[in-house]
Structure 1
């Protein structure tokens, strides 16, 4: 199977893979990895990054996709060729549309380590050369609702100021009992473990685990009985596929 093809059907969870970037930053990558060597159209890659003090990503160039960064702990300073300078802290988000080309840097704020989640979303072929763009959102601007068995924050989707050129939803879910994720028909998605332990469709699921979802239907997320009262946090992401090949060349998506 080619790297940019996606298997169809409901996969079982797999563990993320440790990736060390050339700048000394470590990440836990959900996909593509040796365990799951595929993109998930429209998603290029997803990982949790851990940036130590005095590490980071100096100014570098991207093109051809969109980036959503969502902070879990600490702050990350962003600077780009559009003239934007912004620091995102815990539960805050940034979106970059790289388009024809943008350069940016990312470093931990206040000389303190930080970690967060970064998602790359492919741009459809006809939008590869659009003008670059940037937007951010504070924690207060991201809508949060209490649902049966969970508290859900919408990072991308209805009510969020973060939007992309791909129809998608990105949910930050704190599960207290059991929560059902209903994936819109025809969308591709994944769940990723951020904190704590539980089960996903009956399979054990913890920090750094990923469940690719390439079929329609609901996904059931539950806290383990033995871990009752502990925090179980996942992100749930689903998007409309472009049905186009994803060709990644380092920092570029062609």
Structure 2
């Protein structure tokens, strides 16, 4: 145990949550064999109607293996550390794979592997082909300055196409770089701090954050970030995209 008794940086509010590692309790959805991990964000948080996705960490080891997500769920796996194996092929640190709903495969995570996983029910749209499996690496992802700021570089891991109803991106900030304004939008976010530290504004509250923290932001939660300290800050984040919030198909 670290820090004073009875204290934690974790906060769960009606439109956002900060989940700090000091309170992690092991637990994973079914289907990962004997893997150990932590379910960080899920609909049972129940804020603002509850998150519409799941975000969790998987720690590799003997028996850490999965073959599919639950029925109807698409899944993106990002390798935070170590290596993993997909159908016999090796995935290295900062590689990722997107699995469409009801895809089947053999994915193993040996000792030393650390995975970040996002899962979301796929929302089909009439006349639009659903996406197929995609693999890639952060090093090869399209990257550009965010709104022209070279100190805040945004990498998009998945194609920006209407077949995808989820996006996963990586933001890299130099010390002192910040989002240019407080964002308020229809998309919700799941976020994992992969490096560095900073301050996140969520709603009307301000939180120091650091590597290993997870954040949930509900739709329309005001949000802003600034990188602090002497080293760059980086986070992986999810958002829902390309779908009518009323549930209608175009």
TM-score by length of 2: 0.69
CA-to-aligned-CA distance 1:180-215 (integer Å, 9 cap, x gap): 177584222233222232210131112343332224
Deviates more, 1:184-193 or 1:131-140: 131-140
Counterpart check, 1:173 vs 2:178: no
Q: How much does 1:64 deviate?
A: 0.3
Structure 1 residues 199 and 113, CA gap change in structure 2 (3 angstroms): same
- What's 1:205 paired with? 209
- What's 2:55 paired with? 46
1:30–1:208 Cα contact (<8 Å) kept = no
Give me the whole-angstrom Cα distance separating, in 2, the residues matched to 1:193 and 1:88: 21
Structure 1 residues 49 and 33, CA gap change in structure 2 (3 angstroms): farther
Structure 1 residues 154 and 47, CA gap change in structure 2 (3 angstroms): same
| Matching of residues 54-93 of structure 1 within 5 Å | 54-59=62-67, 62-79=70-87, 85-93=88-96
Q: How much does 1:46 deviate?
A: 0.8
- What's 1:134 paired with? 133
Among 27, 39, 42, the alignment partner of 1:29 is: 39
CA-to-aligned-CA distance 1:162-189 (integer Å, 9 cap, x gap): x684434322122222321775842222
SS of corresponding position for 1:18: coil
Give me the whole-angstrom Cα distance separating, in 2, the residues matched to 1:132 and 1:170: 14
- What's 2:238 paired with? 237
Structure 1 residues 76 and 55, CA gap change in structure 2 (3 angstroms): same
- The structure whose RCO (Cα within 8 Å, separation 6+) is larger is 1
TM-score by length of 1: 0.68
1:169–1:238 Cα contact (<8 Å) kept = yes
Q: How much does 1:141 deviate?
A: 3.1
RMSD: 3.5
| Matching of residues 214-253 of structure 1 within 5 Å | 214-216=218-220, 219-224=223-228, 228-240=229-241
Give me the whole-angstrom Cα distance separating, in 1, the residues matched to 2:180 and 2:33: 36
In structure 2, runs of 5+ residues without a counterpart are: 1-11
2:193–2:212 Cα contact (<8 Å) kept = yes
Greater fraction strand = 1
In structure 1, runs of 5+ residues without a counterpart are: 1-6, 80-84, 246-254
Give me the whole-angstrom Cα distance separating, in 1, the residues matched to 2:246 and 2:220: 20
